[in-house]
C-alpha cells in the first residue's frame, strides 16, 4: 500500500497499536499492524531518499575519488578525469585513532558498574562474562563486537551517522552486536539529534528461508508454511535502499543488481524481505510486505538500535560526516589537478592552424616522435598556437587546500603520516606540540559523541 508525501490521513487504529499494553495483544489485528508498518515505511523512505540517500551517493563518490570521464568539447578525445580522494585519506587516517581511543588497545574496553543492592564482585563477573561473549564470537558469522562497531564508526565518518543493533541470538540466548547499514534503516523524519527521540523506526533486513524457518517455534512468531516462505524468496522486492546501494557501486565502476546478483541457487538460502517496525511500545515484523510474522509489545521500552552522529546538526537526526564538510575542498583540488593535466596535454600537443592544401589524416597531422609534415612554406603554412601556462603554481593552491582540510577535520599530517607539517610551527617544540594537540582534541570530541550514543 503506497502513500504520497502529501498524504496525512490519520491511520485508523494507530493509537490502539501504540497503546497495546492497555488493550492487550489479543485485540490487535494483523491487518492493522500491516497498515501501520506500510504507511510508516512509505513516509520515512520517501523523505530519506529524496534528501539524504542522494547525499550519501555523493559521499561515496568522494570516498572513491570518482569523476565522470570528460571529453574535449565536440570530440571523443578524453580530458583529464583524475580523482583526488581527500575524503578517503582523512577517514582512513582518523578511523584507527578513533577505534584505538574507544577500545583503548586492551581487552577491557567497557566497564560494568554495580547497581544499588549489588556488589562490586557481581558487577565484575557480569563484565567478564559479557567481554567473553563479545570478544569470542558465538554467532554463525563469527564476527566480534569490535569488527561490527568499527564498521559503524566508519559509517559515522563517511555519512554522518552510524548504527549498531543489539540482539539476543534465539538459538544461543547470548547477546550479539551487528552493524546496521544506514541504507537499511528508516528513522522518523521529525527525530532530533538522538535516535531515542524518534517516534518509530523501520529496519529492512533480508533473512534466508532457513533463518526464518528456525524461528517457527520461537514464542510470539507466526510464520507461514515453508512453501510460502520459498515463494516469498522468489518475489524479493526492490526498495529505496537497494537503489542507493546500486548507485554507490556504479561510482566504483561496478554493476550490482540487488536481489539478482546476490540471489542464492539453493532455495533455503534465498532471502525474504523483512520489515521490522520498532517503537518504544511495539515491535512488528512483516514478511515480503504481506505477512505479519511478529506483533508484540516492546519488552525493553527502548530501541535495540544504537546510533551515533559525527558532526551534530542541532535538532536533526541526519548529521554531517567528513565527506560533507570536505566536499568543496576535494572538488576544488580535483578541478585544479585536472586543469593542470589538460594544460600539459595542450602544451605537449598544442592547437595548430595550417594552410588549406593536401588532405592529411588525423594520424598524419597529430604530433608524435619522428613526424614529418610537408608544406610549401612551413613558416606561413603552419602556425602553432602557444598554450598559456596559468596553472604552473597550482601546487601552492593544493597545499593551501590541504591545510584547509586539516583545519576542518583536525586530521593533519601528524595523524596521516606521523610527521608534523613542514611550516614555521614545526620549527619549535611548542609548535609541534600544538600540532599534536589539535587533531587529538577534534577527534576526541567524535570519540565522546560515539561513546555517549
Q: Are residues 119 and 168 both part of a single domain?
A: yes
CA distance 157 to 90: 9
CA distance 139 to 143: 7
| Per-residue pLDDT at 425 | 39
Secondary structure (3-state) at 311: strand
| Per-residue pLDDT at 88 | 92
> Do the domain assignments include residue 269?
yes
The answer to whether 272 and 233 have CB atoms below 8 angstroms apart is yes
Q: Are residues 59 and 108 both part of a single domain?
A: yes
Helix, strand and coil in the chain, % to nearest 5: 45, 15, 40
Torsion-angle region of 10 (φ positive above 0: left; ψ -120 to 50: alpha; else: beta): beta
Reported as half-sphere exposure (CB side, CA atoms, 13 A), residue 49 has a value of 16
| Per-residue pLDDT at 361 | 67
Q: For residue 293, give Cα distances in angstroms to 28, 146, 219, 222, 228.
A: 13, 31, 11, 5, 12
Domain that holds residue 27: 14-318
* Cell 613526424, located at residue: 371
Q: Are residues 307 and 232 both part of a single domain?
A: yes
Q: Are residues 344 and 266 both part of a single domain?
A: no
Residues in the chain: 453
What distance, in Å, lies between the first and last C-alpha atoms of the chain?
34
From the list 46, 53, 71, the residue with the least C-alpha distance to 243 is: 53
| Per-residue pLDDT at 342 | 86
> Do the domain assignments include residue 372?
no
Q: What would the DSSP string read from start to end of 12-61?
A: TTHHHHHTHHHH-GGG--HHHHHHHHHHHHHHHHHHHIIIIIHHHHHHHH
Which grid cell is 73? 568539447
> Do the domain assignments include residue 98?
yes
> Do the domain assignments include residue 115?
yes
| Per-residue pLDDT at 278 | 95
| Per-residue pLDDT at 345 | 82
Q: Are residues 274 and 336 both part of a single domain?
A: no
- Structural domain ending residue among the three candidates 318, 345, 362: 318
71 DSSP 8-state letter: B
Q: Are residues 282 and 338 both part of a single domain?
A: no
Q: Which residues of 75-93 are buried (b: 16+ CB within 10 A; e: fewer)?
A: eeeeebeebbbbbbbbbeb
Secondary structure (3-state) at 106: coil
Reported as half-sphere exposure (CB side, CA atoms, 13 A), residue 427 has a value of 3
Q: 61: how many CB neighbours lie within 10 A of its CB?
A: 22
Q: Is the dihedral of CA 58, 60, 65, 71 positive or negative?
A: negative
The answer to whether 248 and 260 have CB atoms below 8 angstroms apart is no
- Structural domain ending residue among the three candidates 295, 318, 341: 318
> Do the domain assignments include residue 361?
no
The answer to whether 190 and 253 have CB atoms below 8 angstroms apart is no
* Cell 559503524, located at residue: 152
187 phi and psi angles, rounded to 5 deg = -110, 150
Reported as half-sphere exposure (CB side, CA atoms, 13 A), residue 77 has a value of 10
Q: Are residues 252 and 390 both part of a single domain?
A: no
Q: Are residues 336 and 206 both part of a single domain?
A: no
Torsion-angle region of 169 (φ positive above 0: left; ψ -120 to 50: alpha; else: beta): beta
CA distance 276 to 219: 17
> Do the domain assignments include residue 8?
no
Which grid cell is 236? 524479493
| Per-residue pLDDT at 399 | 74
User: CA 145, 148, 154: angle at the middle one, nearest 5?
Assistant: 135
From the list 247, 225, 330, the residue with the least C-alpha distance to 56 is: 247
| Per-residue pLDDT at 430 | 47
| Per-residue pLDDT at 22 | 42
- Structural domain ending residue among the three candidates 263, 293, 318: 318
Q: Are residues 109 and 242 both part of a single domain?
A: yes
> Do the domain assignments include residue 9?
no
Q: Are residues 278 and 340 both part of a single domain?
A: no
CA distance 244 to 51: 12
205 phi and psi angles, rounded to 5 deg = -125, 160
Q: Are residues 302 and 401 both part of a single domain?
A: no
The answer to whether 203 and 185 have CB atoms below 8 angstroms apart is yes
Q: Are residues 161 and 213 both part of a single domain?
A: yes
Spell out the per-residue pLDDT of the chain, length 453, in tens.
Answer: 334 443 444 444 455 555 544 444 444 578 899 999 999 999 999 999 999 999 999 999 999 999 999 998 888 888 889 899 999 999 998 998 888 888 876 667 888 888 898 999 998 898 888 888 887 765 555 678 888 999 999 999 999 999 999 887 767 777 888 899 999 999 999 999 888 999 999 999 999 999 999 888 888 899 999 999 999 999 889 888 999 999 999 988 889 988 888 888 888 889 999 999 999 999 999 999 999 999 999 988 899 999 999 999 999 999 999 999 999 999 998 998 888 888 888 887 777 776 666 666 666 666 655 556 666 666 666 666 666 776 666 677 777 777 777 766 767 655 544 444 444 434 444 444 444 454 567 788 888 888 887
> Do the domain assignments include residue 362?
no
Where would I find the H helices in 272-421?
A: 322-325, 327-348, 362-365, 378-381, 394-409, 413-416
How many independent structural domains does the chain possess? 2
Amino acid at each position: 500500500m503506497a502513500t504520497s508525501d502529501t498524504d496525512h490521513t490519520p491511520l485508523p487504529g494507530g493509537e490502539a497499536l501504540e497503546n497495546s499494553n492497555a488493550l492487550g495483544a489479543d485485540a490487535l489485528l494483523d491487518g492493522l499492524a500491516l497498515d501501520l508498518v506500510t504507511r510508516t515505511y512509505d513516509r520515512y523512505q520517501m523523505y530519506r531518499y529524496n534528501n539524504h540517500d542522494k547525499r550519501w551517493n555523493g559521499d561515496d563518490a568522494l570516498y572513491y575519488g570518482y569523476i565522470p570521464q570528460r571529453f574535449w568539447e565536440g570530440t571523443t578525445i578524453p580530458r583529464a578525469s583524475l580523482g583526488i580522494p581527500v575524503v578517503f585519506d582523512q577517514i582512513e587516517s582518523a578511523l584507527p585513532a578513533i577505534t584505538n581511543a574507544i577500545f583503548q588497545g586492551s581487552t577491557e574496553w567497557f566497564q560494568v558498574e554495580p547497581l544499588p543492592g549489588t556488589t562490586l564482585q557481581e558487577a565484575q563477573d557480569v563484565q567478564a562474562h559479557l567481554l567473553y561473549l563479545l570478544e569470542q564470537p558465538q554467532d554463525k558469522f563469527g564476527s566480534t563486537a569490535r569488527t561490527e562497531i568499527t564498521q559503524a564508526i566508519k559509517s559515522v565518518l563517511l555519512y554522518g551517522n552510524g548504527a549498531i543493533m543489539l540482539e539476543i541470538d534465539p538459538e544461543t540466548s547470548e547477546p550479539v552486536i551487528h552493524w546496521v547499514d544506514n541504507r537499511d534503516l528508516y528513522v522518523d523524519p521529525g527525530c532530533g539529534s538522538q535516535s531515542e527521540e524518534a517516534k518509530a523506526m523501520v529496519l529492512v533486513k533480508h533473512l534466508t528461508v532457513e533463518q526464518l524457518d528456525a524461528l517457527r517455534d520461537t514464542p510470539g512468531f507466526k510464520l507461514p508454511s515453508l512453501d510460502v516462505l520459498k515463494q516469498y524468496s522468489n518475489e524479493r522486492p526492490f526498495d529505496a535502499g537497494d537503489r542507493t546501494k546500486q548507485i554507490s557501486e556504479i561510482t566504483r565502476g561496478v554493476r550490482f543488481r540487488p536481489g539478482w546478483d546476490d540471489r542464492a541457487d539453493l532455495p533455503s538460502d534465498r532471502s525474504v524481505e523483512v520489515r521490522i517496525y520498532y517503537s518504544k511500545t511495539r515491535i512488528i515484523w512483516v514478511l515480503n510486505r504481506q505477512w505479519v510474522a511478529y506483533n508484540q509489545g516492546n519488552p525493553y521500552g527502548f530501541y535495540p538500535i544504537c546510533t551515533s552522529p559525527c558532526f551534530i546538526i542541532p535538532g536533526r537526526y541526519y548529521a554531517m560526516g567528513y565527506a560533507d564538510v570536505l566536499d568543496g575542498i576535494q572538488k576544488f583540488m580535483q578541478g585544479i589537478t585536472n586543469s593542470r593535466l589538460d594544460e600539459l596535454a595542450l602544451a605537449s600537443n598544442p592547437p595548430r592552424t595550417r594552410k588549406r592544401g593536401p588532405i592529411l589524416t588525423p594520424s598524419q597531422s597529430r604530433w608524435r616522435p619522428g613526424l614529418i609534415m610537408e608544406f610549401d612554406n612551413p613558416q606561413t603554412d603552419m602556425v602553432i598556437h602557444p598554450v598559456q601556462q596559468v596553472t604552473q603554481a597550482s601546487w601552492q593552491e593544493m597545499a593551501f587546500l590541504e591545510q584547509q582540510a586539516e583545519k576542518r577535520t583536525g586530521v593533519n599530517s601528524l595523524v596521516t603520516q606521523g610527521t608534523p607539517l613542514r611550516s614555521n610551527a614545526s620549527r619549535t617544540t611548542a609548535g609541534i606540540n600544538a600540532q599534536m594537540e589539535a587533531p587529538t582534541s577534534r577527534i576526541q570530541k567524535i570519540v565522546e559523541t560515539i561513546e555517549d550514543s
